[in-house]
Amino acid sequence: MPMPKLIDTLLRDERLTSRLDDAEARMLIEWLVDRAERGAPEGGRDQPEAWDRLRCRVRAIVCFVVLWCQERAYGPALQLAATERFAWPLPTEPMDGCDLLDSILAWENRAALCTINK
């Protein structure tokens, strides 16, 4: 998928950001655009199925952040994390959505670098 079309597709997917506060949504979009510009996810930008997997993962991350930070539904959030097999460190106390999303995206960046360097 050509870069401008890929970024446009990401920006138009309202399901990625509709449940987030504005600051969280901006952070997520900037992260996705950065990944698109770097050619991530694994498999490169020319493989639409890799981007579809990333979008599904991002939707699950957003759901986790909403459950944990906005709804304070810790049990369902932990159940989602187990189901999705999130490997990042789970929070142990209430957190601000931006702080939690920032730590998750930083972890996702490190994990992507480890995958690329293998």
Count of domains for the chain: 1
Measured at the alpha carbon of residue 103, what is the angle toward residues 1 and 52, in degrees to the nearest 5?
A: 20
In a 10 Å sphere around its CB, with 0-12 CB exposed, 13-18 middle and 19+ buried, how is residue 51 labelled?
buried
pLDDT tens series, the chain, 118 aa: 556 676 777 777 888 899 999 999 999 999 988 887 777 565 554 567 777 888 889 999 999 999 999 999 999 999 999 999 999 999 999 999 999 999 999 999 988 777 554 4
Cβ neighbors of 63 (< 8 A, separation 6 or more) are 19, 80
Full residue range of the structural domain in which residue 84 is found: 3-116
| CA–CA distance, 53 with 82 (Å, rounded to integer) | 18
pLDDT at 38: 77
